[in-house]
Structure 1
Amino acid sequence: MTITNTTQSFSSLKGAIKVTNIDNNSSKESSDTLADAVSVNIDSDGLNTTSLLNSLEEETVIQARNGYVNEEEKKQKQMIDEHYAKMNEENKNFAYPSAHISEKYFDIASPYYVEGLTKEERKTAYSQEINYLNNGHLITYRSNDPVLRDMPLIYGDVDVAQRKAYDREKVNEQFQTLLNKYNVTIPQDTKLTFTIDPNTLKATVSGTDDETLAKAVEDVMNTANNAKELFRHIISSRSDDSTQYNGTSASKYNLTQNIKNVTGYNLKDLEIKDGKFVTEDGTNVAEIYIKKINENPNMSDFVKQMSIASNVAGLTKLAKNGFDSVPDLVLSIDYENGSFYDVKQSENFGTGKRQWIDELKASKPKNLTNLKIEEESSSKTEILKEAFEIISDENKNIKLLDKDRHILSKEELMLKYLLGYEEEIKNEDLYSFIEKLKKKVDEVKIDNNIS
């Protein structure tokens, strides 16, 4: 048999894995039995993924949460801590520190009285100084603290969105590290969908006709606990309008995980007999769970009781109705060009899809001063709206006349009074103006009744 000097290669459709066979024995003869080894050269861009999966130690590279820190919040907390630590040292110079704190915030005649604070700021500052005096540190931080008056406000919804975006960036990087480890390349513009089974916490990959690529990516994701961490990341990235996540299925997932973590049994694999999940030898898995929990030396009696009560009740209900009576929490996420993208929800934290977070942040008042102005404006609008509601549909048969005896519609009346009393609104308390307006309407009602 003659082995010619040829180079043969094959690769997956999208080039994820490439194997090249180089034969340098151009003139070597052999018998019908090939005695010489064939040299297989796997280039650096396409090492045999299966071989690497078998030889390399598995590790959980992907992490659902990655220690996000809001630097602005950290800075503000430090400012507050330093301020009240300083105040506390000053307060302790007085014979009765708590009395001094009360005096400087509520006794106008005191030479120590702190001026220029709103009622809420005064209450907050007083409370914080008392807390620091009693505990040696602050217990809580408050957004209406006068220390933060001109500092940027931190909004919970914005902060949560920024945390989710931060975690997504980290997960994207971690997945790329995982792909690099096993020499798998996902070609540009290839869109994949990862779907994770909550019972096995293993991923399946779809979205491509390249079965070799899909299998390689799937195998890589299913090393160690990477698929589990991606599953948890999808949960932590969900928005309120997610259609793939629901509380009932999530409760089922939590129950099955709790039972599996303690007993080692997966409820999906167990038989239901006489309203109980039973093992192969007929043992009630609830009994195993109770025994294991009670033997745990790291749990307090209270936690043991709560865990047993909650999970055994859940087991009983699920066994009664059947494991499939509640849909499994099957979750999916897309991947393309180096980033994961959320599906079946309005909020997306994928690369290039996060501009809505900046827009959300820009829509908020920048600090407490701006917030108060906005709240005051909103309050005035609501008061005016309420005032004009006194001309209700119930009174639509009442004729409201202007000085020329022209019948005014409700809208015309609103416009007339808003324009006619513009100067009065500026120069007097808004509530006084509203009372005047109500009185005017009452007078019109009386005139109409008389006529």
Structure 2
Amino acid sequence: MKIYGGICISINSISTLTITTNSINRKTQNNTLINNNNGWVSDADKLAQALDDKYRKINEQNKQFSNPDQHIWDKYVNQNSPYFRSDLTETERNISLRAEGCWLQNGLIGYYDFRDSLFRNISPSSLNINVEVAERKEFNRQKVNDQLKQLLDEYQINIPKDTKLTFTIDPNNYKLTVSGTDDIVLSGQLEEALNTANNAKELFVHIMDYYGSQLSDLAKNGFDSIPDLFLSIGYENGSLQDIGQKESYGTGKTDWIEELKARVDSLK
């Protein structure tokens, strides 16, 4: 087995010792608790919702006028109108003109422009794609950590503090094996719990998302077949830990995300 930046690539088969104990609570045996996708809502999604709420309300106000189209025109184009929005910039007036016209005709904005006056004081990091990706991954990692804890609790598995484990998953059958401990009872219990239902498969997809760029690099170097890729991730003190990654999403190791946001906002 060779390790490339935290991704274990093995061409040979791996033999493992599986320990089954009668003390394991099997009530979750047929349930998948781990989920690689946990309903992340980005700042951009929230801002889009805010625009929907804004223009839905304004549309109702516009419809109180006998000629809503003319009223919209007066607000954003007709400088002689008492309704003219001189408090807005020309760009903001054009954005509102289009948004209100679309909502009146179609019942939706049609195009979200975050230069809208609603967002005059928004921080640049709220719309930065790199920040969004990092925060999504941090969110999903914490959710998966919680799901792992729930699974281990239901199987009554206690992992000693500071034990550094490694979970390795075979992409051919999504079988998970545990290393990093000489306690074969503990490793056996973990393997039995994590290999129930689709838990190992969901964890595999979770790891794939975090190592995506490295997988692309490996494919360029000839490792273009998923069956060749045994993915590994660390686990310590209740948190999954990325192996060999420049950017970590493990608990207590995500200060770099706030630093990234600060750098982006400083460019405003």
> Matches of residues 275-294 of structure 1 in structure 2 within 5 Å?
none
Distance in 2, matches of 1:71 and 1:325, equals: 35
Structure 2 segments unaligned to the other structure (5+ residues): 1-18
Change (3 A) 1:138 1:49: farther
**Distance verdict in 2 for CA 1:168–1:325, change over 3 Å:** closer
Out of 69, 76, 79, the position equivalent to 2:41 is 69
Q: 1:336 to 1:101 in 2, by over 3 A?
A: same
Partner of 1:235: 208
Which residue of the partner structure matches residue 363 of structure 1? 263
Among the aligned pairs, what percent are the same residue? 45
Count of residue correspondences:
243
Give the letter aligned to residue 174 of structure 1: Q
**TM-aligned CA deviation for residue 138 of structure 1:** 3.0
The answer for the alignment partner of 2:80 in structure 1 is 109
- What residue in structure 2 maps to residue 378 of structure 1? none
Partner of 2:159: 186
Deviates more, 1:84-93 or 1:200-209: 84-93
Aligned to 1:139: 110
Most deviating of 189-198 and 98-107: 98-107
Q: In structure 2, what is the Cα distance between the partners aligned to 1:346 and 1:331?
A: 17
Shift of the alpha carbon at 1:203?
A: 0.9
- Quote the Cα distance in structure 2 between the aligned partners of 1:56 and 1:87: 53
Which of the numbers 322, 326, 335 marks the counterpart of 2:225? Answer: 326
- Return closer, same or farther for 1:97/1:54 CA change in 2, 3 Å cut-off: closer
- In structure 2, the partner of 1:130 is 101
**Structure 1 residues 201-212: aligned runs within 5 Å:** 201-212=174-185
Task: Say if 2:169 and 2:175, in contact at 8 Å, map to a contact too.
Answer: yes
Q: Deviations over 1:134-155 (max 9, x none)?
A: 1223334321111121244522
CA contact 2:20–2:188 (8 Å) conserved in 1: no
Q: Letter of the 2:115 partner, please give it.
A: N
In structure 1, what is the equivalent of residue 216 of structure 2?
246
Q: CA deviation at 1:166?
A: 1.7
1:202 Cα deviation (Å)?
1.3
The Cα shift of 1:50 comes to 2.3
Give yes or no for contact 2:168–2:232 (8 Å, CA) kept in 1. yes
Bigger Rg over Cα: 1
Question: TM-score, normalising length from structure 2?
Answer: 0.78
Counterpart residue identity of residue 216, structure 2: N
What is the aligned partner in structure 1 of residue 60 from structure 2?
89
How far off is 1:325 after superposition?
6.9
Q: Which has the higher contact order (CA 8 A, sep 6+)?
A: 2
- Equivalent pair of 1:49/1:184 in contact (CA under 8 Å): no
The alignment's TM-score, normalised by the length of structure 1, stands at 0.49
1:161 and 2:134 correspond: yes
Aligned-partner residue type, residue 339 of structure 1: S
Distance 1:358 1:101 in 2: 41
Matches of 2:44 and 2:225, distance apart in 1: 43
> Given residue 175 of structure 2, which amino acid in structure 1 is its aligned partner?
K
The letter for the 2-side match of 1:175 is L
Using the TM superposition, give the Cα deviation of residue 49 of structure 1 relative to its aligned residue in structure 2, in angstroms. Answer: 5.6
* Residue segments in structure 1 that go unaligned for 5+ positions in a row: 1-47, 250-323, 375-451
Label 1:234 to 1:102 Cα distance change in 2 as closer, same or farther (>3 A). Answer: same
Q: 1:223 aligns with which of 188, 196, 220?
A: 196
Q: CA deviation at 1:81?
A: 3.1
Q: What code does the residue aligned with 1:116 have? A: D
Assess, with a 3 A threshold, how the Cα gap between structure 1 residues 190 and 138 changes in structure 2: closer, same or farther.
same
Alignment correspondent of 2:10: none
